[in-house]
Amino acid sequence: MQGSAMDSAAENPSTTRFREYLRIQSVQPEPDYDGIVRFLFKMADEIGLEKKTLECAPGRPIVILTWRGTQPQLKSVVLNSHTDVVPVFEEFWTYPPFAAHKDKGGNIYARGTQDMKSVTIQYIEAIRQMKSEGRQFPRTIHLTMVPDEEIGGHKGMELFVDHPEFRALNAGITLDEGLANASDEFSVFYGEKCIWWMTVHCQGDPGHGSRFIENTAAAKLHSVITSFLDFREKEKKRLESTPGLRLGDVTTINLTKVSGGVSCNVIPTSMSATFDLRISPTVNLKEFESQIESWCRAAGDQVTFEYHQKFMNKKVTTPEDSNPWWKAFSDPCKKLGLKLNPEIFPAATDSRYIRAAGLDALGFSPMNNTPILLHDHDEYLNEDVFLRGIQIYTQIIGSLASVHPLPGEQ
């Protein structure tokens, strides 16, 4: 079967380009963004796309490739992806993580196969195919490849959405990354949780480690941690006991860091705990913050907290046919026989900045029958799944770019 042979000479050209992209070590904390730009510009020149770069932050290039529509005044289709990948622990990998090794079963192993270099190449290859067929669409299609998503997007999409160049894209709908699905179904994400990263600081009385000192920082910290983790357990049980509920529908809390103390025999005056909270968009955020305050008050005096990140925007994209963008996305999926699972994304992507800017965004990575391996050792994607994704995107992108003029468009 074409594309499954070990001999690269017989390999599907789309797969070859995918593996070439994977070999660019755009790994945090020092991504090879120059290599990324050269590769993407080469793809643009081959296909015949307009190309430019933009730096909202020095050394953090955003690549914008454009296929002009026949009615460029209409709102555009934006195909977003990020160019950086997370670090690797090479000793735990079966194959070198940037070699893009393909085994006899067609599994391609490399950091970024799922998160999310596959999607970037699938966008490009879908457009390559449609242009080679001479197709044209009324709406302009932009590909935006942004940096630093894996470290929060603070020098990438967060700045980009406020830049005049982003507004000039005139975006109507944005596609971004999703997740693999181990079943026959395909996950599509219409919203995300709100991320709160916070540290609770507890002050108390010091003393010798041999004594029963009252009002200690440790006792207060124990109370705080118990409150947070009791809530975590309730949400976990709710997820496990409620049919149809998914991870994105509940709030997760995880204790990620504990610090304090100076010596084995000295009761410290201060201790702290850091938590990673991912709050469901169905939660009243003001009420939830009041609950956190009550947990801290219950622990005693001199208990304070600070936020390292506190995302408050809960906007979601309506996953119903009343939304013309959703209908244009889902209709071709139905025709292809794909079963879609609309969900709230359990973690975070750059889509949260896009939705916060008041725009529709859907997170979708066409990877079914595939274990979720983003950020994991031995991250891989099967070649057949990758190639099928290109064909899926040709239908979705073509449908979105053909949406009839909407109210307010001229």
**Contacts (Cβ under 8 Å, ≥6 apart) of 116:** 81, 82, 177, 365, 374
**Rg of the Cα trace of the chain?**
24
Residues annotated catalytic, as ranges: 84, 149
240 vs 230: CA distance, rounded Å? 15
Burial class (CB in 10 A: 0-12, 13-18, 19+), 174: buried
Closest CA to 250 of 259, 241, 258: 241
What angle is formed at CA 349 by the lines to CA 236 and CA 126, rounded to 5 degrees?
125
Which residue stretches of 247-376 are H helix? 285-299, 324-335, 351-356
- Residue 8 per-residue DSSP state: G
Q: Please check whether residue 220 is in contact with residue 202, taking contact to mean a CB–CB distance below 8 angstroms.
A: yes
**Contacts (Cβ under 8 Å, ≥6 apart) of 38:** none
13 vs 17: CA distance, rounded Å? 6
Q: And the tokens for 137?
A: 């669409």
